[in-house]
Amino acid sequence: MTALTMPARSDSSLRPVPWRRMAWVTWRQHRAALAGVAVFLGALAVYLWITGSSVHHSYAAACHPANSLTCTMNFTGRYGITGIMVSILLQAVPALIGAFAGAPVLARELETGTFRYAWTQAFGRWRWALAKLALLAVAVAGAAGAFGVLFSWYNQPFFAAGYAIPFSTRVFNLGEIAFPAWTLAAFSIGVLAGMLIRRVVPAIAATLAVYAGLAFATGLWLREHYMTPLLTSHPNLPGSAWVVSQWYTKGGTFAFPARGSQIVSALSRLCPEPSGLSPAQCLTQHGYTLWTSYQPGSRFWLFQWIEGDWLLALSVLLIAATVWLVRRRAA
Partner 1 sequence: MTMNIIETSGLGKRYGSTWALRECTLAIPAGHVAALVGPNGAGKTTLLNLAVGLAEPTAGAVTVLGGLPAGSPAALDGIAFVAQDMPVYKNLSAADMLHLTRNLNRRFDQHYAEARLAELGIPLKRKAGRLSGGQQAQLALTLALARRPRLLVLDEPVAMLDPVARHDFMAIVLTAMADDGVSVVLSSHVLAELERVADYLILLSGGRVQVAGEVEDLLASHRVLTGPAVEAGNYAERPVVNVRRAEAQAHLLVRSGVDDPVPPGWESHPVGLEELVLAYLREPGAAALPGPARPQEVTR
Query: Shortest gap between Cβ of 109 and partner 1 (angstroms)?
Result: 9
Instruction: Return the number of the residue (53 or 114) whose C-beta is nearest partner 1.
Output: 114
| 10-18, 154-162, 207-215, 264-272 -> range binding partner 1 (CB under 8 A) | 10-18
- Cβ 112 to partner 1 shortest distance, Å: 7
First CA to last CA across the chain, in angstroms? 31
Among 24, 65, 269, 273, interactor with partner 1 by CB under 8 A = 24
Asked if 330 touches partner 1 (CB under 8 A), the answer is yes
CA distances from 320 to 157, 179, 188, 241, 250 (A): 41, 21, 9, 38, 53
Smallest distance from partner 1 to CB 115, Å? 8
CB nearer to partner 1: pick between 128 and 303: 128
**Do 279 and 285 contact (CB within 8 A), yes or no?**
no
With vertex at residue 272, the alpha carbon angle to CA 267 and CA 276, rounded to the nearest 5 degrees, is 95
Residue 234 interacting with partner 1 (CB under 8 A): no
Give the range of 109-117, 237-245, 272-280, 287-295 binding partner 1 by CB under 8 A: 109-117
Applying CB under 8 A, the span of 14-22, 66-74, 135-143, 237-245 interacting with partner 1 comes to 14-22
Is the Cβ of residue 115 or residue 248 nearer to partner 1 in the bound state? Answer: 115
The answer to the question of residue 22 lying near partner 1 (CB under 8 A) is: yes
Distance from C-alpha of 92 to C-alpha of 211, rounded to nearest angstrom: 10
Residue of 53, 54, 112, 265 that binds partner 1 (CB under 8 A): 112
Q: Where are the alpha helices (DSSP H) in the chain?
A: 21-62, 69-70, 77-90, 92-97, 104-112, 115-118, 125-160, 169-172, 178-197, 200-217, 261-270, 279-285, 300-328
Cβ at position 143, least distance to partner 1 in Å:
22
Q: Least CB distance from residue 187 to partner 1, whole Å?
A: 21
Count of positions (residues) in the chain: 331
Q: Does 196 bind partner 1 (CB under 8 A)?
A: no
For residue 307, how many C-alpha atoms fall within 13 Å in the half-sphere facing its CB? 30
Q: How far apart are CA 179 and CA 317, in angstroms?
A: 19
Task: Using CB under 8 A, pick the residue from 4, 228, 251, 253 that binds partner 1.
Answer: 4
Cα 145 from Cα 147, distance rounded (Å): 5
Binding to partner 1 (CB under 8 A): which residues in 27-56?
A: 28-29, 32
CA distance 218 to 49: 29
Q: Which member of 17, 43, 220, 317 binds partner 1 (CB under 8 A)?
A: 17
Instruction: Check residue 74 and report its DSSP letter.
Output: I
Whole-number minimum distance, CB 179 to partner 1, in Å? Answer: 30
Here's the x/- map for partner 1, 115-144, by CB under 8 A: it reads as xxxxxxxxxx---x----------------
Closest approach, Cβ 9 to partner 1, in A, equals 8
Residue 149 and residue 46 in contact, taking contact as beta carbons nearer than 8 Å: no
CA angle 246, 277, 293 (to 5 degrees): 10
Nearer to partner 1, 17 or 220 (CB): 17
Structure letter (DSSP) for residue 329: -
Residues at the contact surface with partner 1, assessed by CB under 8 A: 3-9, 11, 14-17, 21-22, 24-25, 28-29, 32, 112-124, 128, 328, 330-331
